[in-house]
Amino acid sequence: MSLRRDVVILACAVSAGIHGALAPAHFSESLGAGVGFVVATVALAGLVVVLTVRPASSAPLAWAAIVFAGLLGSYALAVMTGLPLLHPEPEPVDGLALATKAFEAIGLATALSLLRPRSVFSPTPHPKGTLT
């Protein structure tokens, strides 16, 4: 398993833990917000498992990128305008949310870097310094 894949797994795990821990507080705000946090927790925890069990598959990386992008986008909307039905009033920005979004942004960038096709023109390292 690659270090970059481990970074994606770690970002999913951290985000899942934080969303899971905050779900009860969001249920007290609204049912929609609480359900949204539970769905995020389950999706991220599922990605941790699948990324660990199927390290050669690129599909879970694509799903991780989609989930991270969705979480980042929904948070941006939540603090700027609110989210209809889920969190109608704009949410104040706080440190824990920003730290979570930093992990998710790193996870997104890393997942995308693993999904990026390699160019046929990119240099490939030669094994043990041999020249061909």
Identity at 25, one-letter amino acid code: A
What is the tens place of the pLDDT at every residue in 96-112?
Answer: 999 999 999 999 999 99
Q: Note the pLDDT of residue 125.
A: 58
Phi, psi of 84 (to 5 degrees): -55, 140
Residues 6+ apart with CB under 8 A from 78: 86, 87, 90, 91
What is the tens place of the pLDDT at every residue in 110-131?
Answer: 999 999 876 555 555 555 655 5
Q: Any idea which residue has 């989609």 for tokens?
A: 66
Identity at 7, one-letter amino acid code: V
Judged by average pLDDT, the poorest of 15-19, 63-67, 79-83, 85-89 is 85-89
At residue 9 the predicted structure's pLDDT band, cuts being 50, 70 and 90, is very high
Its pTM stands at 0.84
Q: Look up residue 68 and give its two tokens.
A: 């991270």
Q: Note the pLDDT of residue 1.
A: 55
Q: Note the pLDDT of residue 89.
A: 81
Whether 91 contacts 82, CB under 8 Å: yes
